[in-house]
Structure 1
C-alpha cells in the first residue's frame, strides 16, 4: 500500500500550477543552501511553517508531526558537531545550522507533497521538460517516504503487542532487537515494489514513446505572478548572501 501526503484543501498553494510549486521548492532549497548562520536559518524555518499554515492551510502541529521522524538525525547532528569542530560553542552553532537546514529541506518537500496530487506532480515535471518516466520515478520515490515510515510504525506496534521491548539493554542489544522490525520492513518493501511494478506493467508503461493525458495543466495569471515573486525573492536571498555578506559563517579558514 502507498500512503499519501496529499489532502484536498481550499488554499492558495493547492490552487497553484504544480510547475510553480516545483520551481518554488527548488528555489527554496537552493536559498537554504546559501546560508549556514543559525540566525538566518531558524527564522527561515518558521517562515516556511507560516507559509504552510496560511497559504497551504496545513496546521503547524501537522507540519511538525511530519518532521518528528527526523528528530534522531537532528539530535545526532547537534551532538556530533561540537566534537569535530573547535571551539565547541561554534561547533554547537554549526550543528544547529545543519540541523535546521535538514528540517527546512524536509518541510519544503512535505509542503509540496501535501499541496500537490501525484497526477499534477508528474504532469508538472513532464511539462518542465522531464521525461515521463523520470517524473513518475521522482513522484513515487517522494511518496514512498511516508509509506516506509507508516509501515515501520505499524510493524513496531505489532511487535510490541507480542512483548518486543527495544528500550531495554545496551546499544548492541537494541541493535539486534531492531532486526525484528528491519526484516519485516524489508519484506513489506519488496512486496510493495513488486505490486507497484505489476500495476505499472498492467497499464503498459513504456509501450509508447509519446504519451497522451486525459487531464492537462495550464498556467494562469496567478501562476505567472507567483513565479515572478519566487524568482524575485530568490534573487533577494542571493543579494543578501553575496551582496551584503550576511548569513554565512566561515567554517574552515
Structure 2
C-alpha cells in the first residue's frame, strides 16, 4: 500500500495543442529543481539573451535550453511550442533581415521605398538570425518553466522568499490563468464551430470579423471569473489576518547546485566571448 501512494508519476507527453501552455507532473531533472532555481535560471537566460547580439553566444544559450529539455524528456513538446510561434519568429527574422541596425559586409539588395530603406546584407542576415535565436531561447526556457513548475510550487517558493501575500497570489493566479484561458478559448471555439462558424475559410477581412465571435465571449468569461474569484477571496477574508505560512516550503538540493554551476558557466562564457572574441 505504501508503495502505491509513494509512487511518483512519470513524465507524460502532451499533445501539440497543450504542450506549450500546461504543467505536467514528472520526475525529470527540471521537475525536481527548486522553483526558485528555475526562476533564477529564467532571469539569467533571459538577461544573457537580451544583452547579447552576437550569434555565437545566443546559439550557446539556445543549446543550453535544448539540452535541459533533452535530459528532461521535454524536447518534443518544446519543438511543438517553437512551431506554435513560428509565424512570429518568421516575421521578426524578415524584419530584422531587411531593416537591421546597420548594413555591414556584402550588400545583396537595397532600395528606397519612401521613408523605408530596406537592405539585405551579410550583417543583416547574421543580425536577423541572432534575433530569431534570441526569441527561441527566451521562449524555450519560459515554456520549460511552465511545463515543469506547478502553480502551487511557485506560490510556495515565493512565500519562502518573503514575497507579500498579495503579490504571491497575483503571480500564482496569473500562471494558473494561462491554463484556464486556453481551456476557455477551446470551449468557445468548439461552441462557435457547432453554430456553423469556420475559422479556416474566408478572406482575411472575414477572418478578422469572425474573431469578434471569440473576443467578446472571452472578455465575458474573464470578467465572470474575476468576479467569482473576488467573491471567494472576500468570503475567506483574504488579507485581513496575519501572514500565512507554508506547510511544505521548498528546499534546494544537489540538482539546484548543478543548475547554478551550469548557469554560471553560461554567464562566464558570455562574458569571455563579449570581452575577447566579440
TM-score, normalised via structure 1 length: 0.80
- Aligned residue for 2:31, secondary structure, equals helix
Q: Return the offset for 1:108.
A: 0.8
- Aligned residue for 1:163, secondary structure, equals coil
* Separation (CA, whole Å) in 1 of partners of 2:133 and 2:180: 24
Q: Return the offset for 1:118.
A: 1.5
1:192 matched to which residue of 2?
225
Q: Which runs of 5+ in 1 are unaligned?
A: 247-253
Which of 157, 161, 169 is matched with 1:128 structurally?
161
Alignment of 1:53-92 (within 5 A): 53-54=70-71, 56-58=72-74, 60-85=75-100, 86-89=118-121, 90-92=123-125
More helix by share: 1
Higher relative contact order (CA 8 A, sep 6+): 1
Alignment of 1:142-153 (within 5 A): 142-153=175-186
* Separation (CA, whole Å) in 2 of partners of 1:9 and 1:118: 14
1:115-155 Cα deviation digits (max 9, x unpaired) = 22222212222333432322332232233334333432332
1:94-115 Cα deviation digits (max 9, x unpaired) = 3443333223212211212222
Q: Which runs of 5+ in 2 are unaligned?
A: 1-17, 101-117
Q: How many residues matched?
A: 241
Aligned CA distance change for structure 1 residues 179 and 52 (closer, same or farther; 3 Å): same
* Separation (CA, whole Å) in 1 of partners of 2:93 and 2:253: 44
Aligned CA distance change for structure 1 residues 133 and 157 (closer, same or farther; 3 Å): same
Q: Return the offset for 1:179.
A: 0.6
Q: Does 1:13 align with 2:46?
A: no
Alignment of 1:99-118 (within 5 A): 99-118=132-151
- Aligned residue for 2:85, secondary structure, equals helix
1:28 matched to which residue of 2?
45
- Equivalent pair of 1:79/1:92 in contact (CA under 8 Å): no
Which of 198, 223, 234 is matched with 1:201 structurally?
234
Q: Return the offset for 1:180.
A: 1.0
User: Whose radius of gyration is greater, 1 or 2?
Assistant: 2
Q: Return the offset for 1:46.
A: 4.0
2:170 matched to which residue of 1?
137
C-alpha RMSD of the superposition? 2.7
1:244 matched to which residue of 2?
276
